[in-house]
Structure 1
């Protein structure tokens, strides 16, 4: 199993489409065998799912995420755990132990009405749909 987590300063970054780094965890028999951090170089919403697929990621833990990104991840065969927060390392341990706290209904719908150039979910009010 290869798990990606949107990543910033040890924490789960709260806006999938603006993440600059993923922490990638290779897991076997319920334990992490290798963890690396990958810089995405401003890839953006559309290309992130493809980049994760190319890295052979099969699972993603993140905070807020829009509908288009959800669809792209589904098409890439990547299982999604949105609405998570806190330590990235702890989230992966919790997922492997079957106790990850996340919200499968979490969306970030502001993409549909703000246009390009908006800030991350923590930088504006999105009606509570980001987290």
Structure 2
């Protein structure tokens, strides 16, 4: 399983749509086997779900997240754990231990929602071409 965390300076970054890096954790048989930080190369919120899917992420731990991004992640089949803060490594360890504290209702109140039918290509985003 691959877990992605919005990442900045060792911490869970608090705005999914503005994250510049993810830390990706590879888990086998419930044990962390590796991790690495990947740059999003300036991808906006509309492209980040595709970016994570291309990276093989099955789970996302993040801080705040808007409705459009939630929908995109759901369509990509990525399980979401929003409303998390603190040390990224510690939060992944908590998830693996079954003790992650998160708020499924966390949203970015100031976030604009593209809503259903959002086509990131129509806004100049490139949903593909990312290398993880």
Could you tell me the TM-score, scaled by structure 1's length? Answer: 0.84
1:43-66 CA distance string (max 9 Å, x none): 010000000001110000000000
Offset at residue 109 of structure 1 (A) = 2.6
Aligned to 1:11: 11
Give the Cα separation in 2 of the matches to 1:60 and 1:112. Answer: 20
Moved over 4 A (4+): none
Give the Cα separation in 2 of the matches to 1:65 and 1:112. Answer: 10
Aligned to 1:119: none
Aligned to 1:48: 48
Q: How many residues align?
A: 113
Are residues 1:63 and 2:56 paired? no
Offset at residue 112 of structure 1 (A) = 3.2
Give the Cα separation in 1 of the matches to 2:37 and 2:91. Answer: 15
Structure 2 spans left out of the alignment, 5+ residues: 114-132
Are residues 1:21 and 2:16 paired? no
- 8 Å CA contact 1:67, 1:109 repeated in 2: no
Give the Cα separation in 1 of the matches to 2:94 and 2:78. Answer: 18
Could you tell me the TM-score, scaled by structure 2's length? Answer: 0.84
Are residues 1:83 and 2:91 paired? no
1:17-75 CA distance string (max 9 Å, x none): 00000000000111110100001111010000000001110000000000000000000
Structure 1 spans left out of the alignment, 5+ residues: 114-131
- What secondary structure, in the 3-state scheme, does the structure 2 residue paired with 1:70 have? helix
